[in-house]
Amino acid sequence: MATILDTANKARSKKRPRQAAMPDGPVSLIGLTREELGDALRAAGVAEKQIRMRVGQLWNALYHHGHQDFANVTTLSKDLRTSFAEHFTLTRPEIVTEQISTDGTRKWLIRLPSTDPRAPAPEVEAVYIPEETRGTLCISSQVGCTLNCTFCHTGTQKLVRNLTAGEIVAQVLIARDALEEWPTPQEGRKITNVVLMGMGEPLYNFDNVKQAMDIVSDGEGLSISKRRITLSTSGIVPEIERVGNEMGVMLAISLHAVNNPTRDELVPINKKYSLNELLKACREFPGVSNARRITFEYVMLKGVNDSLTDAKELVRLLKGIPAKINLIPFNAWPGAPYECSDWEQIEKFAEIVNKAGYASPIRTPRGRDIMAACGQLKSASEKIKASQISA
Ligand code: SAH
Ligand code: SF4
């Protein structure tokens, strides 16, 4: 069996490693493209003329039925189920905790396989936010984040690595499992939208995020349309065009300031890609139109970016860009160097934005009691590390 697995691993790593290295044991099929699934089957000895059909069956089992165990994949013969179970696995990463907020928001802390045996296992969070007319799943693209935005809790986490496509897709599977949403329903779904607004900068992990979103939106599987997937970026300008051309999902920009000095402080990547360049990339974003608007996120920080002059400047800057504006009340976290703007100030700011034609721009904070709100996500990995250091 070791040789078969070795070949399967080799087949997958021909291009670049998509899955975190699994020490020994069955290979996870979550997050592979159809082509990669075919390669894995071929390496396990499946006859060439059966590959297409088997790939279809496994795709359906994974992403339409949400099976976690080959024993339940009744489209396969008993022998095949046994043989596949020896080589492959459909199981999800380990869920460390599931928390449910008083407002129905749910947060999962997910432990991933460690790529460095000396470091603590990396962990990421995914959050489900139910609303009257939709349910949004917020997923992570990296463990931690390298960008250190000064108002963001994730940015203070030291441990950083890219998630594999499988680890990104697995967050959607875990949420679907917990919400008991299998097989993929056509109507009345609990998860209607996916946002890449959890931990990490998705454009620093472009290829894996793209592969994962292709799988999440695949009509024969999870079937969440790309119009209902939004990628949020802090402004990695050279990658923005590719989001439109190659990924085809909706774009959100973490703007947070209307001039370079303030944005340099809040979102330090602005020193590399300034406001002007960022807004130019938005104007030129492939496919942008009034039906496909770019969302601009703006966190409200008391005395920092919340003056009425800032509001007017925001409206002026976005003129001519088909845009939605999301004012996010700052979600505090222990030791945060900012305060949330006063509610009255947020309303005055919103009024100016409203008058310029942007509807209900204030985003209601959700799941604050379980630290599930925007920018509060931070796994315990670093805390474990800190305690090890002080021990
Ligand atoms: N790295 C990406 C996506 C993850 S952050 C990005 O920065 O866009 C998702 C959103 O939450 C971003 O708009 C981010 O600026 C915002 N955010 C981060 N920390 C926050 C906090 N403490 N309160 C409110 N929003 C926050
Ligand atoms: Fe990273 Fe986004 Fe947080 Fe900035 S706001 S540190 S880019 S996760």
The answer to whether the beta carbons of residues 331 and 368 sit under 8 Å apart is: yes
Closest Cα to residue 28, out of 122, 145, 166?
A: 166
pLDDT digits (tens, 9 = 90+) for 243-294: 999 999 999 999 999 999 999 999 999 999 999 999 999 999 999 999 999 9
SS3 state of residue 151: coil
205 CB under 6 A from ligand 2?
A: no
Percent of the chain's residues with pLDDT above 70: 88
78: CA distance to ligand 1 center in Å?
48
Q: Is 340 assigned a catalytic role?
A: no
Q: Which of 125, 167, 201, 297 is catalytic?
A: 125
Q: What would the pLDDT profile of 323-361 be if each residue is shown by its tens digit?
A: 999 999 998 888 899 999 999 999 999 999 999 999 868
For the entire predicted model, the pTM comes to: 0.90
Residue 132 DSSP symbol: S
Q: 124 near 103, Cβ under 8 Å?
A: no
Classify burial at 139, counting beta carbons within 10 Å of its beta carbon; exposed 0-12, middle 13-18, buried 19 or more: buried
In ligand 1, the atom with minimum distance to the C-alpha of 376 is 22
Cα–ligand 1 centroid distance for 374 (angstroms): 6
Q: What is the pLDDT of residue 379?
A: 53
Give the per-residue pLDDT at 20: 43
Pocket of ligand 1 (CB under 6 A): 145, 151-153, 197, 200-201, 232-234, 254, 297, 299, 328, 330-331, 374-375
pLDDT value of position 17: 43
Q: Which ligand is nearest to the CA of 326?
A: 1
Cα 256 to ligand 2 centre (Å) = 12
R_g of the chain, CA atoms, integer Å: 22
pLDDT at position 257 is 98
Pocket test for ligand 2, best of 152, 158, 255, 301 (most atoms within 8 A of CB): 152
pLDDT of residue 33: 98
Residues 336, 386: Cα–Cα separation, whole Å? 18
Is position 181 annotated as part of the catalytic site? no
Question: Is it true that the peptide bond before 183 is cis, omega within 30 degrees of 0?
Answer: yes
Ordered by where they begin, the domains of the chain are: 2-89 (1.10.150.530), 94-388 (3.20.20.70)
**Residue 386, pLDDT above cutoff 50:** no
Does ligand 2 lie within 6 Å of residue 145's CB atom? Answer: yes
Higher pLDDT, 155 or 9: 155
What are the structure tokens assigned to 189, written together?
């779904």
pLDDT (tens digit per residue) in 119-129: 788 999 999 99
The predicted-structure confidence for 141-182, as pLDDT tens digits, reads as follows 999 999 999 999 887 777 789 999 999 999 999 999 999 999
Q: Tell whether ligand 2 has an atom less than 6 A from the beta carbon of residue 297.
A: no
Task: Spell out the long-range contacts of 342-347 with Cβ–Cβ below 8 A and sequence spacing 24 or more.
Answer: 342/302, 345/300, 345/302, 345/306, 346/300, 346/306
Q: What's the mean pLDDT when you consider all of the chain?
A: 89
